[in-house]
Structure 1
Amino acid sequence: MDNELQQMLRDSAQGYLGGAGGAAHARKVRDDQAGFDAAAWASFGELGWTGVLLPESLGGSELGLEPALTLAEEMGRTIAPEPFVASAVIAATLLAASTASAATELASALAEGQRSVTFAWQESRGVLGAPAFDTYFANGTLTGAKVHVPGWHPGVALLVAAGSDDGPVVLVVDPAAAGVSVTAQRLTDGSFAADIAFEKVVLGDDAVLLSGEAAAAAIDQALARGTVALAAQLEGLAGALWRMTADYMKDRSQFGSRLSDFQALRHQMVDLYAQIELAAASWRAAATALDAGEGAAVAIHAAKARCSQAAQDMSRWAIQYHGAFGYTDEADVGLFVHAALTWSTWLGNPAAHRRAALMAHRSGNVRHG
């Protein structure tokens, strides 16, 4: 159940996204070569969403994780293409943990919706959590490569995780700097991710935002929060797609009867509804465990696995019930399916998280990843 603050945020999100969001907005951003709507992101800032995890001293509201998850769920329901999880959850967690002047400047711009920020940490595909980084920062020079950097668009601010002689570091890197090579790729939902190579990129001392144990802890926290937020977004998507499909079943006729009149189809929809409700309970349980700071790993992996699976299953049945119409570009259902495909595999697919949950349970490991 939402508390009063969460309900206020939910009402705000439904009011704005109901008018300015939804399928039409998703199509607009998908068809834009930048894959990003700066005006929409600025509106997120004006509403206080981009600073929900940032301290008040930096222009944020520091409302905490649960309000951020409420927003993520509503963005899933309207398949909002804005990089809320990548920027306002993952990157914001890192910026809030740093006292460096560069972090302060970026956090203030993020809170106001003037900039989006992305975090590059993956070095190979299909790996959960933060690896031992081969990308290395030494003597003021960064060398290495990252894959699948999310929320990519021209003008995005870039944070990079790397190894160093003092342990892991989080750096701020100008994507236009000499030695930085970016290969952007459009994803199924129309957004962009990037593979980035760093060839002896020279950085100043002010580029280091976090280092050592502080960097490791912030990275773990950021990825854990991001995984739970993405799970909430997936559950929101699945719930909206269920309602869209249920409404369509009342209108579509076959053999002289509405689809909703067929008992077998109704039973399947009930099963899907139960799966989505369990998915909602799973990410809420993960959020509680993460805030408590203990036993979170199993809950987080389980939530991402369950919510991803719910979105994938609902997508398959939505296409089944909509028939050939569901495959057309004009059908909104296709936009939801494409978003589900992208979101359910980012930060780990269901099978990977089920394996990780089992391993974490057996080892008693409470850290995410």
Structure 2
Amino acid sequence: MVAKIKSGKSLIGALNYNENKVKQGKAMLIAAVKYPKDKELLSFNDKLFRLTDLAAMNQRAKTNTVHISLNFPNGEKLADEKLNEIVKDYLTGIGFATQPYLVYRHEDAGHPHCHIVTTNIKRDGERINLHYLGQNESEKTRKVIEIKYGLIKAEEQSPQKPDLKADMTVAAYGKAETKRAISNILSFALRAYKFTSVPELNAVLQQYHIQADRGAKDSRMYNREGLIYWVLDQQGNKVGVPIKACTIYGKPTLKSLEEKFRLNTQLRKPFKDGLIKILDQVLTKPQTKTSFQRELLKNDIQVILRQNDFGRVYGVTFIDQKNKIVFNGSDLGKAYSANQLSASLLPDLRGKVSRQQQSDDETAGTILRQTAAGGNELMDVLFAAEREDLAALNKFKRKKRKGFKL
């Protein structure tokens, strides 16, 4: 069993996440403990207010939400009753025995798991300490529960060997077991591509909706050189439960990757000049961001431009799909760095033109539909804007005259 604890400031956010899964048919509520009604009779507000009422007992506490997932390997067949007993024992072990909580069984991943929503604020306003909760109480409790219920121990779960014959398609959370999907894609990427950093590896993995993550720079995981892998959704957001690198077949940890980085630094050198030559040929003509990417794609070169909210390019990565080589722009030379490319590329107006064209097309479609209907409706459509302006002007004049009377 693997337990993941997330703390936060939004009880409604944690509840919404699970309730939306229920609406989508991907989860079901299997327990509502220390609630005044049976789970079937609870409304959304009933579920929420029971927790927020407790959270309100301590106005100073910024963190009042605890969202836990308990994850089990394939092969663990747990009935709702048994799963609820495991949840009860787990929460007792980590100090939440007196707290109300909701348990949702999720069916949106390739492995059995459940989510628990509760609060760390007690009835008397005292906070349950969350500091090192996962490292200390959770780990001890997990091991006790694995023995008590005869579960497969987390340490004894053997890494799954990747399927080398599997088609390389993007990962989709819930369609296959998360660890197996990550293992297959990662194995292919490590064998096929030559990259020299975690961001360059991610440029490859994100094509398949996977991301390697070292954590925040001030995090304990980052300082200990840890590494986890996530599945991403269509918008690039992390979903599900991350998988530790050390539990994946081949152990693609940061230490082993760094050895590969050093090797790839030498192996990709013969392809550098050829890539630069193609870039120079494309840049002989004025290019926008869109045309630059399009022209290079004709040469099997994918350009990943990382932009801020204002459209400024702050990072660029080139993936030579033909030779399976990855280069950060600055590694090719100053002229291909993000700053230089951002300065040389013309403003991309295509999006604005397309939106305007789409608007024009919609207007034209409206006129054609009204014409087909017959009568004077065509005139109504053509002069609708002018009539609105005239009505607004008359309204303004009436207000103005009224003002003079005062």
Higher helix content, 1 or 2:
1
Which of the five TM-score ranges fits, normalised by the shorter chain? under 0.3
TM-score of the two chains, using structure 2 as the length reference: 0.24
Structure having the higher Rg: 2
TM-score of the two chains, using structure 1 as the length reference: 0.26
> Which structure's relative contact order is higher, taking Cα pairs within 8 Å and 6+ residues apart?
1
